[in-house]
Amino acid sequence: MAMAQDWWRGSVTYQIYPRSFMDSNGDGIGDLKGITARLDHVASLGVDAIWLSPIFPSPMKDMGYDVSDYTGIDPCFGTMADFDAMVAKAHGLGLKVIIDQVLSHASDQHPFFVESRSSRDNPKADWFVWADPNPDGTPPNNWLSIFGGPAWSWDSRRKQYYLHNFLREQPDWNLHNPDVQDYLLGVMRFWLERGVDGFRLDTVNFYMHDRLLRDNPANPLPWAQSAHRPFEMQYNMFSRNQPENLAFLERLRALMDEFDARSTVGEVGDTHMSIELMGQYTSGRRLHMAYSFEMLGPDYTPGHFRSRIEEFFRKAPEGWPCWAFSNHDVPRHMTRWQEHGADQDDLARQAAALLLAFRGSICIYQGEELGQTDTALDFHELTDPEAINFWPEAKGRDGCRTPMVWEAHAPNGGFSMANATWLPVKPPQAARAVDTQDGSDSVLNFYRQMLALRRAEEALRAGDMVFLDLPDPILGFTRGDGLICLYNLSASKRDCALDETLAPLLSQNVTLGKGRIGFGPNGFVIARKQAA
C-alpha cells in the first residue's frame, strides 16, 4: 500500500499539450478523442503518468491558461464524456492522469470576475486583487506583467486597478480571501472525485501577493538589465513568493490526503530562490513534488547539473524535485543544446540517458522521445502573446508547441486531416515522425530501453545519488550502491581514468579499457559496478 501511495516518487510523467497531440475531427486542433486514440504510444514508452495542459473552457488568450470555467471541458477539446473515456483508457493502460490547475489567475470572462468588477460591494468584490490608483492616477506600485507592461489594468466601473501577473485578460485571484481558497479547493475536489490522480499546479509561487503592495526592487543580477522582458529587470520579492502561501499549500495537501494515491507537482520558477522555494513547498505536508526550471536553460555542463541536484537535496532533504529538460514554455532542449552534439540522435539519446538517471521524479514533453527540435516560425504564423509582444528578440513558445508528428508522409505529419492546423507542421519536424523510428537504434526505441532500465533498477528510482569528481566535460555519479553513470557532455572525443570494473547496462560511443574509459562524442555508459 505504501508503494502505491508513493507512486509519484521517482516516477516518469509524459506531458501532453492537448492542442498539439492528435486531432480526431479534422478541425486542426488536437482533442481528447485524439489523445485517447494515441495513448497506446505513450504506454509503450513505459512512463507512469500523463500530464495534460489545460482543457477547460477558455477564451484561449493564453491557450487555456485563462480559465473561464474550472469544472468543464472546452468544446474545442470535446466533452466531459470524452474526458471520462480518456481517463478510463489511461487507467486501463496503467497510466495515472494528472491535469493542470491554474489557481493563481482566471480569465476575465470567468463569471466571478465579471461580478467582481461590477461594483465595490458585490459578493465577489474581494475575490480578485483590486487597488486604488495613486493620486496622479498611476497604478498602485511598480509591479510588471510577465507579458509586458504594468501588472495592473484600470477598470472604469470600480475606478480601481486589478492585478494580473500575466495578460490583462488573466486577473489574479485574491487567495488571501478564505472564500477564494475554499472555491479553488472545491474545484480540485471535483476533479479528484472524477478520478484524476493528481495536479500540476501552474505558477504555484504566484498564489499570494504582498498585502502592502510594496514596490519590487531592481533585479541585482548582472544579466537583468539586458533581459528582453522588463519583468525580469525586477526582483519580484513582493509580487510573488509570499510566506502566506505555505499555509494554503498545507490546506491543499490536506485535501489530497483525503484520497488514495494522489499527487501534486507545483511549477516553481524564480530568478533568485527557486531551489529554496522548491524545498519549502515540498517539505512537510505541502506539495508532493516541485517542478524545476533549473534545467530548462542553455547550460549543458557537468557543473550545472551537479550544482542544481546537490543544492536541492542539501537545502531540502525532506523535499522532492521533478526534473525536466523541455516543456511547452521553453525551446526544446534539442534546439537549446545542439552545439553540444556532433550527431542529433546521439545527443537526444544522451539527454534521455542523463535525465532518466537523475534522482527525483522526471517529466518528459511530447516529442522528446523522437529527438524533436523547435519549429522555425514566421511572424504571421504566431499565436503566442509573448512572441507577438517581444518579436523579433524573443521567438516565444509556439516553436515548441507545434503538432506531434505520427506519420512522416501523411498530411500535417499525421496529426490532422485539416487543410490548416493551429500551428504548422514543417518538414524538419515531420522527418522525425513516429513511423520513421522503428529501427533498433532510433531515439524512440532508446527512450523505451532507458525507461525500462529505470523501472528495472530500483537504484535509478530511489537510490542515493553521489557525484564523482571528474574533469570537464565528463559528468559522473553513482546511484545506490551498485550503479555508475558516466557521460561525455561534448561533441568531441574524451577519455578519463577509471578505477572501477564495469558491466554496462546501456551505453553509446564508449570504449572500456583497463584503468581508463574512452568516450566518443556524446558517449555515455550506465553500468553495474563489479568487484575487482
Compute the chain's Rg from CA coordinates.
Answer: 23
Task: State the distance between the two ends of the chain, measured CA to CA, in whole angstroms.
Answer: 39
**Local structure of 450: helix, strand or coil:** helix
Of the candidates 202, 232, 369, 374, the residue annotated as catalytic is: 202
Of the candidates 258, 260, 378, 499, the residue annotated as catalytic is: 258
The CA distance from 397 to 198, in Å, is: 25
Reduced DSSP (H G I as helix, E B as strand, rest coil) percent helix, strand, coil of the chain, to 5: 30, 20, 50
Question: Strand 361-365 to strand 321-324: parallel, antiparallel, or no bridges (unpaired)?
Answer: parallel
The CA distance from 197 to 94, in Å, is: 12
The CA distance from 418 to 411, in Å, is: 8
Q: Report residue 432 as a C-alpha cell.
A: 522525425
Name 251's Cβ contacts closer than 8 Å, sequence gap at least 6. Answer: 181, 185
Q: Report residue 303 as a C-alpha cell.
A: 557543473
The neighbour count for residue 69, using CB atoms within 10 Å, is 16
The CA distance from 113 to 516, in Å, is: 65
488 has which bridge partners? 474
Cα angle 133-134-136, degrees, rounded to a multiple of 5: 110
The CA distance from 370 to 28, in Å, is: 22
Whether 83 and 32 have beta carbons less than 8 Å apart is answered as yes
Q: What is the DSSP string of 221-268?
A: STTGGG-SSGGGGB--TTTS--TTHHHHHHHHHHHHTTSTT-EEEEEE
**260 part of the active site:** no
473 cis-preceded (ω within 30 degrees of 0): yes
**257 part of the active site:** no
Q: Which residues are catalytic?
A: 202, 258
